[in-house]
Amino acid sequence: MLDVNEIQKIIPHRFPFLLLDRVIEIKGGESIHAYKNVSISEHVFQGHFPGHPIYPGVMIVEGLAQAGGVLAFKSMSEEDQKETENKVVYFMSIDKCKFRAPVTPGDKLEYKVSVIKHRGNIWILKGEAFVDGVLTTEAELKAMIVDK
Catalytic positions, please? 48
The rounded distance, in Å, linking the Cα atoms of 90 and 95 is 15
Please give the single-letter amino acid code of residue 85. Answer: E
Chain-centre distance of CA 59, in angstroms? Answer: 9
Taking phi over 0 as left and psi of -120 to 50 as alpha, with beta for the rest, 49 belongs to beta
User: Angle at the Cα of 123 (from 140 to 121), degrees rounded to 5?
Assistant: 160
